C-alpha cells in the first residue's frame, strides 16, 4: 500500500524523489478556530536527491526549507504530494502514504541532525543512552556489551573518545555535542542524513571541523545528505548541488559551481551578492541590496512571489507565476530556474558570472 | 606590561579616522571578571585599544572570547556578577576625559554619556524598545532626556532620524509600536533610537547575527551610509569575519578574554600573523569560484573555569613552542605599522629567559 | 514489553558505571543535590523539617506524657522555668524545676500558680512515665525526657484547659498536621499528573474539557467549598476516616494547579528537539512519556509540590480551627488552636497559641526548601 503506484518515476540515481510536495498551515482565529487563511509554507516543490550527493536547500527564514525537510522525513505530514524513497534496486516506496510501523522502518534509513546541539540531546541521558537509544528501539543489539561496543565505535567515528560514553551532554561543548548528534544519526547505518542547519549554531572554527567531518563520513559511509542551510558560503563548500528556495518554492536548482558563478534567478544573484565576504578588497564592490523583506507565506503577492523585491520585475511577473524550467541547455548537468526572464537576464555570480561567455538557451 | 605597551600605541595611524586626532575612547588593560558559585571567569583579561572619532573598529572572536563583555564594560551595563577589576576606559567627552571604569555605573556621568555620547544597538531589536510605547514616544523621550528641546522639536528630530535610517513613512511610523513592524524595520527603528542624540560612538553588538542575509546586507549598508552621514565612530562586535571585512577600518581579534591580533582590516585579513587569526580565516568557507579547502582549528575552546596558562591558544596552536607558550602571556609585538600580535613567534621570548 | 525490559537493563548497567567520575558523569539528581546544598537557608529548613517529622513519627517516645491524661490541679498551668541555679545560689549540672503550688486569688477566684522553691524536681533523659504503645505495637513507658519523678509533671509549654500537657499534644498534633499535607499533596500529585498529562499529551477536545473543569474548580472560593464538603461528613465517623475525607476535600482544589503545571511542561517539552529526535528514532508514545517527558520535569514538579504542602497544612489548620475539620478527641494543630479561640486565653494563657508557632515554622521551612529545590531543579540552565 505504500508502493509508489503511478505517482511518478524516480530518476536512476535518485534515492529520494520529492514530487509536488505541498504543506499548508491553516491560519485560524477565534474560539471556534475559524480558518481565515493559509500559510503556504511549501508550495509544489519537486526535486531528486541523488545517491551519494549532497543537495543543499538554501534560503532565508520562512522560505520553507526546514518544512520541506520535515515533510520528507514525515516529522510533519505534507498536505499533498509524494516523497518517493528507494533503496538500491527495490521498488520505490511513498513515505507520505506509510503507516506508523512502515515509517519506523523507513526512518532507519533517513536520519536527521538538528540545528541546536543544546536542545537536541536529552540532558538526562548519557552519551551511551543517547547514541544507543535508536539501537535499543530498533532492537539492533543483543546485549549491553554489544551496545557499548557499537556506541564506542560510533564515538570513534565522530572523533570522540569512547571512554566518555558515561558522561552527560552538559560535559561537552557545542561542537562536541553536534558530533554526538551525528553519532546518534549514524547509529542505524542510514542511507540519507538530513542536516537541518546543523552547523549554523557553531563558532566558525568548530563549524569547519563539523563540515569536514560530515564530508569524511560521506566518503567513508557512502551517505547522501540533504543539507538545509542559510549560509551561502557554507553551502558552497559542502554541497554538490543547490536548490534555492523563496516563499515555499524552489526558484533555482543546479550544480553548486554553476549556480554560484552563473545564477539564473535574480534572487540567487541577490543572495550571492549580499553574503559578506571575509576579504576587505571586496569592501567597495557594488552590492545588490534587496529592498523590503522576505515575502510572507501567509499573504503572498500575486505572480512571482519575488517580484516586489526584484529589480528586473516587469508586468508579466506581477501576473504570472513562473515555472521551474531547464535553463542549462541540452547538454551538461541540469540547471533550472523559475524566472520568466531567466534566459534573458545577465546576472552576476561570484567573480562576475556576467563576464562568462553567453550560452545558447532553449 | 601589556598596558604600557598598549599605551605607546597612540601614535599608530588609523585609516578611517582622523590620524592626528586624540582617541575618542581609549581602553587600557581592561579586566572584567565574572564571579559565580563555580568560580571566577576572566571574561576580559587585559584588553587595550583606541578608537578615534569617525573610525570603525571591529572586535571579532568566537563565543566566549569576551567581545560582548568588552562592550558591556564600556557602557557599564554588565550583569550583576560581572565586575571591572582593573584597567581604564578613558572617554574623551569634549572638554574633559572621564574614566568610565571607575565612575559609578548608575551615576550622573554615565547616565549622561549613555545614550547621548555612546549608544548601543543589540542583536535583538525588541530588547531596545518597550512594547507599550510607540517608537516615536521612545525616541522623543530619549532626545528630551539628553537635550533641552521642546516636545515638538524632539518630534521633528525623531521623524528626521527615522527618515535617515530608511523607514518608509516616518510620520506614520512614529505612531507605531515595534510589534507592528517587520524584523528589518525594527532594526532600523533601533538604529534610529540609538542615533537620536547623535552619539560620538555607536557600539553595535552582533546586530546582524539573527537576521537573514538580505536584511543583514541592508543593515550593513545602513550603517555605512549613516556613518558617512553623521560621522560617528562605530565599534562593531561580531563573530562574522565577513561583516568585519565589509564594514570596518581596523580590527581586533580576541580569544578567551585576550587580544591576539590587532591592525588594519587589510593587514589582518591579508597578512594574518597570529596562528589563531590564520586558523580562523582558514576555517571560513569562501565565496570564490572553484574549490577552496577549509582547515579547521583543531581541538575545543577550553572551559572558562579551566583556562590554560600562558598563551590561551597554546592548547590548540599548530605552532606551539614547548616550554615557551605555556609559561606566560605573550606580550604584544609590533609586526608592522599599527599591526600588533600577541605571540611568541614574533618576539617577547627574551623576557622569558 | 521486552523493549522496556531491555531498556531498563541497559539503564541499570549504565547507572552502575557512573560511580567513579564526578561532575562529568553527574546525573541530573546529583547536579540538583549539589546546587541545593549551596542554598543554606533551604538546607537548614530541610533539617528542621526532618527533625519535625522524626518527632512526629516517634511522638509517643518523644512526648513526655500521654496526650489524654489530664491533671485537674494543673488546669491552665503556665510553662515551667527550667533552672540550673537553686534558691541558695548553687549551680546544678542537671536542670530542674520547682513544681507549682496552686492557690486561688482571693478576689477573682482565679487560679494562681506559684513555684514551690523548696522542692527541686530534676529532669532526666529516658525516664519512666506514662505507658504507651509505639505505633500501636511496641509497649513501653520510657520517654525521651521528663521529670525523674513519674508522679510530678513537667509543664514545658504550659497545660491546656483541662490540664493536659500542651507540649505533648503539639507533638501528637504534628503527626496529623504534617502528614495530612504529604498525603494530600500525594493525592494532588496523582490527580494533577494524570489529568495534566492527559490534557497536555492528547490536546484537542480532551484538553479543552479538562481545562474548563479546572477553571471551574479554581473559580470556587476555597473556604466555602471546604466548609460545604466537611459539613457533609458524618460526625460519628472515626478519626482515621475523617482524616482521609479531609485530605480528599483538600485535594479537590489542590490538584488543579499541579495539572496546569504538568500540562504546560508537556506542551513546552514536546517542542524540544530531543523529543522530536526520539520520535524519529522510532520511540513509542509510552517510551517518550516515561523516558523523555516525565524525567525532564520531575525535578520541577517536586519543587512545586514542596511549595504546595504548606497550603494543605494551612487548610487543615483552618478547617479544624473553625470546627469543620478534625474534631476532638483527634489531636491536630488546628484542633489545639481551637482552644485558643477565646479572648480570655489571649489575656491569661497566651501559651495556648504556641501551636501557631509550629505551624508558622513548618510552613516557612517548606517554603524555603521548595525555593531551594526550585532553584536547583534546573541545573542545566547554569552549567
Q: What ipTM does this complex have?
A: 0.85
- pLDDT value at residue B2: 42
Q: Which grid coordinates belong to C345?
A: 486565653
Chain B CB contacts of A175 under 8 Å are 300
Give burial (CB, 10 Å; 0-12/13-18/19+) of A142. exposed
With CA atoms as reference, the chain A residue closest to B298 would be: A209
Q: Which grid coordinates belong to B201?
A: 560612538
Q: Please, which chains are in contact with C (at least 3 CB pairs closer than 8 A)? A: A
Do the Cβ atoms of A112 and C277 come within 8 Å? yes
Chain A CB contacts of B216 under 8 Å are 274, 276
Distance from CA of A32 to the nearest CA of B (A): 25
A350 touches chain B (CB under 8 A): yes
* Segment C249-253 mean pLDDT: 76
Count, residues in chain A: 362
The minimal CB distance from C272 to the residues A115, A119, A167 is found for A119
* Segment C111-128 mean pLDDT: 78
Secondary structure (3-state) at A359: coil
What tens digit of pLDDT does each residue of A157-169 get?
999 999 989 888 8
Spell out, as residue ranges, where chain A has pLDDT lower than 50: 1-6, 352-362
A206 touches chain B (CB under 8 A): yes
Q: Is the distance from CB of B118 to CB of B91 less than 8 angstroms?
A: yes
Secondary structure (3-state) at C143: strand
Residue whose C-alpha cell is 500525594: C186
- pLDDT value at residue A258: 93
Count, residues in chain B: 353
Domain for residue A300, yes or no?
yes
Lowest mean pLDDT among B187-196, B253-262, C13-22: C13-22
- Closest by alpha carbon to A95, among A157, A49, A36? A49
- pLDDT value at residue A143: 92
**What is the spatial distance between Cα A61 and Cα A59, in angstroms, rounded to a whole number?**
7
Do the Cβ atoms of A212 and B296 come within 8 Å? yes
With CA atoms as reference, the chain A residue closest to C274 would be: A120
Domain for residue A287, yes or no?
yes
Neighbours of C93 (CB within 10 A): 6
With a CB-CB cutoff of 8 Å, which residues 156-175 of chain A face chain C? 164, 166-168, 170-171
The minimal CB distance from B287 to the residues A174, A233, A309 is found for A233
Q: Which residues form the domain of A297?
A: 268-362
Chain C CB contacts of A129 under 8 Å are 10-11, 14
With CA atoms as reference, the chain A residue closest to B64 would be: A203
Do the Cβ atoms of A278 and B245 come within 8 Å? yes
C28-37 vs C40-57: helix crossing angle, rounded to 10: 100
- pLDDT value at residue C118: 78
Secondary structure (H, E, C), A147-198:
HHHHHHHHHHHCCCCHHHCCCCHHHCCHHHHHHHHHHHHHCCCCCEEEEECC
A274 touches chain C (CB under 8 A): no
DSSP state of A277: -
What tens digit of pLDDT does each residue of C74-96 get?
777 788 777 788 778 788 788 88
Distance from CA of A124 to the nearest CA of C (A): 6
Taking any CB pair shorter than 8 Å as contact, residues of chain C touching chain A are 3, 6-7, 9-11, 13-14, 17-18, 21, 23-28, 31, 272-274, 276-283, 287, 292, 295-296, 379-380, 383
* Segment B314-320 mean pLDDT: 91
β-pair type (A110-113, A192-196): parallel
* Segment B209-238 mean pLDDT: 89
Chain C CB contacts of A95 under 8 Å are none
A299 touches chain B (CB under 8 A): no
- pLDDT value at residue B59: 96
Q: Is the distance from CB of A78 to CB of A262 less than 8 angstroms?
A: no
pLDDT band for position C1 (50/70/90)?
A: very low
pLDDT band for position B11 (50/70/90)?
A: very low
Q: Is the dihedral of CA B275, B277, B280, B281 positive or negative?
A: negative
- Closest by alpha carbon to C153, among C193, C113, C180, C192? C113
Neighbours of C240 (CB within 10 A): 9
Do the Cβ atoms of A147 and C10 come within 8 Å? yes
- Closest by alpha carbon to A179, among A207, A158, A200, A197? A158
What is the phi-psi region of residue C26: left when phi exceeds 0, alpha when psi lies from -120 to 50, beta otherwise? beta
* Segment B325-347 mean pLDDT: 91
With CA atoms as reference, the chain B residue closest to A275 would be: B213
- pLDDT value at residue C112: 78
**Maximal CA-CA distance, chain B:** 69
Chain A CB contacts of C13 under 8 Å are 144
- pLDDT value at residue C379: 52
Domain for residue A340, yes or no?
yes
Residue whose C-alpha cell is 547514541: A131
Q: Please, which chains are in contact with B (at least 3 CB pairs closer than 8 A)? A: A
- pLDDT value at residue C22: 52
A132 touches chain C (CB under 8 A): yes
CA–CA distances in Å: residue C159 to residues B21, C67, C117, C147: 87, 11, 20, 16
A&C contacts, CB < 8 Å: 89
β-pair type (B118-121, B201-205): parallel
Secondary structure (H, E, C), chain B:
CHHHHHHCCCCCCCCCCCCCCCCCEEEEEEEEEEEECCEEEEEEEEEEEEECCCCEEEEECCCCCCHHHHHHHHHCCCCCCEEEEEEEEEEEECCEEEECCCCCCCCHHHHHHECCCEEEECCCHHHHCCCCCCHHHHHHHHHHHHCCCCHHHHHHHHHHHHHHCCCCCHHHHCCCCHHHCCHHHHHHHHHHHHHCCCCCEEEEECCCCCCCHHHHHHHHHHHHHHHHHHCCEEEEEECCHHHHHHHCCEEEEEECCEEEEEEEHHHHHHCCCCHHHHHHHHCCCCCCCCCCCCCCCCCCCCCCCCCCCCCCCCCCCCCCCCCCCCCCCCCEEEEECCEEEECHHHCCCHHHC
Domain for residue A250, yes or no?
no
**What is the spatial distance between Cα B68 and Cα A281, in angstroms, rounded to a whole number?**
27
CA–CA distances in Å: residue B202 to residues A305, B12, B103, B183: 37, 22, 20, 21
- Name which of A168, A171, A196 to mutate to probe chain C: the one with the most chain C Cβ atoms within 10 A of its Cβ: A168
Positions of E strands within chain A: 14-29, 34-50, 54-58, 80-85, 93-94, 110-113, 192-196, 224-229, 241-246, 249-255, 325-326, 336-337
Q: Is the dihedral of CA C263, C268, C270, C275 positive or negative?
A: negative
Q: Is the dihedral of CA C137, C143, C148, C150 positive or negative?
A: negative
| Half-sphere exposure in the Cβ direction for B45 (13 Å, CA) | 19
Do the Cβ atoms of A273 and B217 come within 8 Å? yes
Q: Which grid coordinates belong to A222?
A: 557512502
- Name which of A278, A288, A355 to mutate to probe chain B: the one with the most chain B Cβ atoms within 10 A of its Cβ: A278
**What is the spatial distance between Cα A280 and Cα B60, in angstroms, rounded to a whole number?**
15
Q: Is the distance from CB of B25 to CB of B98 less than 8 angstroms?
A: no
Q: What average pLDDT does chain B have?
A: 86
The minimal CB distance from A121 to the residues C11, C274, C296 is found for C274
pLDDT band for position B155 (50/70/90)?
A: very high
DSSP state of A323: P
Domain for residue A252, yes or no?
no
Q: What average pLDDT does chain C have?
A: 77
Do the Cβ atoms of C10 and A136 come within 8 Å? yes
- pLDDT value at residue C20: 35
Do the Cβ atoms of B218 and A290 come within 8 Å? yes
pLDDT band for position C124 (50/70/90)?
A: confident
Residues in CB range of B329: below 8 A, 6 or more apart: B2, B46, B258, B310, B311, B342
Give burial (CB, 10 Å; 0-12/13-18/19+) of A308. middle
Higher pLDDT, C304 or A302: A302
Domain for residue A225, yes or no?
no
Q: Which of B158-162, C113-117, C313-317, C377-381 has the highest mean pLDDT?
A: B158-162
Domain for residue A283, yes or no?
yes
Secondary structure (3-state) at C236: coil
- pLDDT value at residue A5: 47
- pLDDT value at residue A266: 95
A174-186 vs A127-137: helix crossing angle, rounded to 10: 20
Indicate the number of domains in chain A: 1
Lateral strand order in the sheet of C138-147:
C83-85, C91-97, C121-134, C138-147
Percent pLDDT > 70 in chain A is 93
- pLDDT value at residue B233: 95
A276 touches chain B (CB under 8 A): yes
Lateral strand order in the sheet of A325-326:
A110-113, A192-196, A224-229, A54-58, A241-246, A249-255, A336-337, A325-326
With CA atoms as reference, the chain B residue closest to A203 would be: B62
Neighbours of C360 (CB within 10 A): 10
- Name which of A73, A116, A133 to mutate to probe chain C: the one with the most chain C Cβ atoms within 10 A of its Cβ: A133
Neighbours of C340 (CB within 10 A): 21
Domain for residue A174, yes or no?
no
What tens digit of pLDDT does each residue of C281-300 get?
888 888 888 888 877 777 77
Lowest mean pLDDT among A6-10, B70-74, C41-45: A6-10
- Beta bridge pairs of residue C278: none
Q: What is the CA radius of gyration of chain A?
A: 22
The minimal CB distance from C383 to the residues A129, A133, A170 is found for A170
CA–CA distances in Å: residue C196 to residues A222, C241, C259, C278, C290: 46, 28, 4, 22, 15
Q: Is the distance from CB of A260 to CB of A53 less than 8 angstroms?
A: no
Q: Which grid coordinates belong to C226?
A: 471546604
- Closest by alpha carbon to B269, among B108, B123, B58? B58
Q: What is the CA radius of gyration of chain C?
A: 26
- Name which of C277, C294, C379 to mutate to probe chain A: the one with the most chain A Cβ atoms within 10 A of its Cβ: C277
Amino acid at each position: 500500500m505504500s508502493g509508489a503506484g503511478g505517482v511518478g518515476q524516480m530518476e536512476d540515481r535518485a534515492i529520494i524523489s520529492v514530487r509536488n510536495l505541498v504543506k499548508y498551515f491553516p491560519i485560524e482565529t477565534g474560539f471556534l478556530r475559524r480558518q481565515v487563511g493559509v500559510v503556504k509554507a511549501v508550495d509544489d516543490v519537486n526535486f531528486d536527491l541523488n545517491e551519494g550527493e549532497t543537495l543543499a536547500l538554501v534560503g532565508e527564514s520562512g522560505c520553507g526549507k526546514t518544512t520541506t525537510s520535515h515533510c520528507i522525513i514525515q516529522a510533519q505530514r505534507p498536505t499533498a504530494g509524494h516523497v518517493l524513497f528507494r533503496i538500491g534496486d527495490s521498488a520505490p516506496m511513498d513515505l507520505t502514504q506509510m503507516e506508523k510501523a512502515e515509517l519506523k522502518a523507513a526512518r532507519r534509513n533517513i536520519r536527521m541532525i538538528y540545528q541546536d546541539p543544546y536542545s537536541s540531546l536529552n540532558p538526562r541521558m548519557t552519551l551511551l543512552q543517547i547514541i544507543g537509544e535508536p539501537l535499543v528501539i530498533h532492537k539492533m543489539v543483543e546485549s549491553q556489551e554489544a551496545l557499548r561496543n557499537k556506541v564506542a565505535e560510533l564515538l570513534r567515528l565522530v572523533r570522540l573518545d569512547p571512554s566518555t560514553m558515561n558522561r552527560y551532554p552538559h560535559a561537552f561543548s557545542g561542537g562536541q555535542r553536534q558530533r554526538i548528534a551525528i553519532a546518534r544519526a549514524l547509529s542505524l547505518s542510514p542511507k540519507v542524513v538530513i542536516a537541518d542547519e546543523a552547523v549554523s549554531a557553531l563558532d566558525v572554527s568548530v563549524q569547519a571541523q563539523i563540515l569536514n567531518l560530515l564530508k569524511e563520513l560521506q566518503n567513508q559511509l557512502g551517505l547522501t545528505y540533504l543539507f538545509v542551510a542559510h549560509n551561502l558560503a557554507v553551502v558552497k563548500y559542502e554541497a554538490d548541488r543547490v536548490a534555492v528556495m523563496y516563499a515555499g518554492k524552489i526558484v533555482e536548482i543546479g550544480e553548486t559551481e554553476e549556480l554560484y558563478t552563473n545564477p539564473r534567478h535574480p534572487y540567487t544573484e541577490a543572495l550571492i551578492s549580499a553574503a559578506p565576504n571575509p576579504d576587505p578588497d571586496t569592501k567597495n564592490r557594488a552590492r545588490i541590496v534587496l529592498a523590503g523583506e522576505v515575502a510572507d507565506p501567509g499573504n503572498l503577492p500575486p505572480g512571482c512571489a519575488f517580484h516586489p523585491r526584484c529589480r528586473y520585475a516587469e508586468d508579466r511577473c506581477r501576473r504570472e507565476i513562473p515555472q521551474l524550467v531547464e535553463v542549462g541547455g541540452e547538454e551538461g548537468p541540469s540547471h533550472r530556474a523559475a524566472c520568466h526572464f531567466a534566459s534573458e537576464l545577465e546576472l552576476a555570480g561570484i567573480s562576475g558570472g556576467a563576464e562568462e561567455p553567453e550560452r545558447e538557451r532553449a | 606590561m601589556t598596558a604600557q605597551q598598549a599605551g605607546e600605541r597612540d601614535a599608530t595611524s588609523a585609516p578611517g579616522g582622523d590620524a592626528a586626532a586624540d582617541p575618542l575612547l581609549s581602553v587600557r588593560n581592561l579586566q572584567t571578571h565574572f564571579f559565580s558559585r563555580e568560580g571566577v571567569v576572566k571574561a576580559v583579561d587585559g584588553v587595550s585599544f583606541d578608537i578615534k572619532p569617525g573610525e570603525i573598529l571591529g572586535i571579532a572572536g568566537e563565543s566566549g572570547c569576551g567581545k560582548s563583555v568588552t562592550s558591556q564594560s564600556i557602557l557599564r551595563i554588565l550583569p550583576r556578577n560581572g565586575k571591572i577589576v582593573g584597567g581604564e576606559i578613558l572617554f574623551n567627552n569634549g572638554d574633559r576625559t572621564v574614566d568610565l571604569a571607575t565612575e559609578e555605573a548608575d551615576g550622573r556621568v554615565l547616565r549622561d554619556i549613555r545614550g547621548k555620547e555612546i549608544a548601543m544597538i543589540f542583536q535583538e531589536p525588541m530588547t531596545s524598545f518597550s512594547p507599550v510605547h510607540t517608537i516615536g514616544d521612545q525616541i522623543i523621550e530619549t532626545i528630551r532626556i539628553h537635550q533641552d528641546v521642546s516636545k515638538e522639536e524632539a518630534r521633528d528630530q525623531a521623524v528626521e532620524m527615522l527618515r535617515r535610517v530608511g523607514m518608509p513613512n516616518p510620520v506614520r511610523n512614529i505612531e507605531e509600536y515595534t510589534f507592528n513592524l517587520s524584523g528589518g524595520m525594527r532594526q532600523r527603528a533601533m538604529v534610529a533610537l540609538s542615533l537620536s542624540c547623535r552619539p560620538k560612538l555607536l557600539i553595535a553588538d552582533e546586530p546582524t547575527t539573527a537576521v537573514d542575509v538580505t536584511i543583514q546586507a541592508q543593515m550593513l549598508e545602513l550603517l555605512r551610509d549613516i556613518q558617512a552621514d553623521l560621522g560617528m565612530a562605530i565599534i562593531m562586535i561580531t563573530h562574522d569575519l565577513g561583516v568585519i571585512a565589509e564594514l570596518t577600518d581596523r580590527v581586533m581579534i580576541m580569544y578567551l578574554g585576550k587580544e591576539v591580533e590587532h591592525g588594519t582590516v587589510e593587514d589582518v585579513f591579508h597578512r594574518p600573523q597570529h596562528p589563531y587569526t590564520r586558523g580562523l580565516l582558514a576555517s571560513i568557507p569562501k565565496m570564490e569560484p572553484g574549490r577552496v579547502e577549509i582547515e579547521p582549528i583543531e581541538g575545543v575552546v577550553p572551559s572558562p573555569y579551566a583556562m590554560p596558562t600562558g598563551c590561551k591558544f597554546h592548547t590548540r596552536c599548530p605552532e606551539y613552542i614547548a616550554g615557551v607558550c605555556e609559561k606566560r602571556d605573550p606580550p604584544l609585538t609590533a609586526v608592522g605599522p599599527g599591526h600588533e600580535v600577541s605571540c611568541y613567534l614574533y618576539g617577547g621570548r627574551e623576557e622569558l629567559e | 514489553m521486552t523493549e522496556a525490559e531491555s531498556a531498563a537493563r541497559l539503564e541499570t548497567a549504565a547507572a552502575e558505571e557512573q560511580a567513579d567520575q564526578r561532575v562529568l558523569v553527574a546525573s541530573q539528581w546529583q547536579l540538583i543535590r549539589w546546587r541545593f546544598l549551596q542554598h543554606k537557608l533551604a538546607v537548614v529548613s530541610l533539617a528542621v523539617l526532618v527533625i519535625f517529622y522524626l518527632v512526629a513519627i516517634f511522638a509517643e517516645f518523644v512526648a513526655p506524657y500521654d496526650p489524654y491524661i489530664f491533671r485537674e490541679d494543673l488546669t491552665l498551668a503556665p510553662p515551667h522555668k527550667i533552672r540550673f541555679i537553686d534558691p541558695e545560689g548553687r549551680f546544678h549540672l542537671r536542670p530542674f524545676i520547682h513544681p507549682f503550688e496552686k492557690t486561688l486569688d482571693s478576689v477573682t477566684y482565679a487560679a494562681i500558680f506559684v513555684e514551690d522553691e523548696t522542692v527541686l524536681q530534676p529532669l532526666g533523659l529516658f525516664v519512666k512515665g506514662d505507658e504507651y504503645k509505639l505505633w500501636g505495637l511496641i509497649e513501653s513507658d520510657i520517654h525521651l525526657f521528663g521529670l525523674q519523678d513519674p508522679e510530678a509533671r513537667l509543664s514545658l509549654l504550659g497545660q491546656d484547659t483541662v490540664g493536659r500537657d500542651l507540649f505533648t499534644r503539639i507533638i501528637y498534633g504534628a503527626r496529623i498536621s504534617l502528614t495530612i499535607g504529604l498525603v494530600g499533596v500525594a493525592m494532588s500529585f496523582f490527580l494533577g499528573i494524570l489529568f495534566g498529562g492527559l490534557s497536555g499529551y492528547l490536546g484537542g477536545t480532551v484538553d479543552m474539557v479538562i481545562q474548563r473543569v479546572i477553571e471551574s474548580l479554581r473559580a470556587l472560593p476555597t473556604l466555602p467549598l471546604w466548609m460545604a464538603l466537611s459539613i457533609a461528613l458524618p460526625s460519628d465517623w472515626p478519626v482515621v476516616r475523617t482524616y482521609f475525607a479531609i485530605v480528599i476535600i483538600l485535594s479537590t482544589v489542590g490538584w488543579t494547579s499541579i495539572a496546569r503545571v504538568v500540562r504546560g511542561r508537556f506542551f513546552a517539552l514536546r517542542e524540544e528537539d530531543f523529543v522530536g529526535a526520539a520520535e524519529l528514532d522510532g520511540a513509542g508514545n509510552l517510551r517518550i512519556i516515561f523516558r523523555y517527558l516525565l524525567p525532564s520535569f520531575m525535578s520541577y514538579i517536586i519543587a512545586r509540590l514542596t511549595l504546595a504542602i504548606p497550603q494543605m497544612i494551612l487548610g487543615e489548620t483552618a478547617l479544624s480551627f473553625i470546627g469543620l475539620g478534625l474534631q476532638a478527641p483527634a489531636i491536630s494543630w488546628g484542633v489545639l488552636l481551637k482552644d485558643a479561640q477565646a479572648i480570655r486565653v489571649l489575656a491569661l494563657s497566651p501559651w495556648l497559641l504556641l501551636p501557631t508557632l509550629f505551624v508558622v515554622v513548618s510552613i516557612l521551612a517548606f517554603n524555603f526548601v521548595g525555593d531551594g529545590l526550585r532553584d536547583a531543579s534546573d541545573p542545566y540552565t547554569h552549567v
